[in-house]
Amino acid sequence: MSDQILAKVRKLLAKAEDPACTPAEAEAFTAKAADLIAKYGVDRALLAAREPGTDLVGDRVVVLHPPYALDKAGLLAGVAGALRCRTVRRREGDAWAMHLFGFGSDLERAELLYTSLLVQAAHGMAAAPVPPWENTAAFRRSWLAGFSAAIAGRLRQAEASAAAQAGTSTDLVLVDRSHRVEARVSEIYPQLRTASRRRLAGGGMRQGYAAGTRADLGGVSSIADRR
């Protein structure tokens, strides 16, 4: 990202990550950051359509360590997918790894948001009271699943809003980018299989989802806000 936009986004996310920040404040900060990131993503896509060399398809691997490595993978997959990236989950010894595919600008956006949201999730999960009849680990896994689902939904909405504001021709550009990312995944993983759906026994999903609706993503901003 440009230094100016990156500085704004990091400042907003840092405020949202502060444990002293109220849920309402964190939601506002995250919403503002997500909107900036979404608009930036559309701008870069349109620029790359005119000047292909400015944004190329790439990939990177993110290793996720215990505890809750598989649940962190779910959060990363939700964030990356909403930002038009593809993820492939694979085992790396005692840890899990996510192989991310996407255009450089989208990979950058995904990692920046994921890193901040992981901190916010850690604060929220630690503060969530575990009912005495619940297993703590199971409760927290379901909490993270709810958090991840809410985040992914909010990001998809922000991305759709940014694309709509940019005009109908943007859809064709974004579809073409998605096809090119899919082609890269198929090239590296020609026999990719879909993992079976996880079954979580904990009762923390509702609390986690509520926390995800409050997490800082980036809010609505005008184009003038980025200048």
Per-domain boundaries in the chain = 3-219
What's the pTM value of the predicted model, to 2 decimals? 0.82
Q: What pLDDT score was predicted for residue 63?
A: 93
In the chain, % of residues over pLDDT 70: 88
Structure confidence at residue 106 (pLDDT): 95
Which stretches in the chain have pLDDT values below 50?
A: 219-227
Amino acid 227: pLDDT:
31
Closest CA to 84 of 49, 120, 37, 125: 37
Q: What is the pLDDT of residue 76?
A: 97
Residue 196: predicted pLDDT: 62
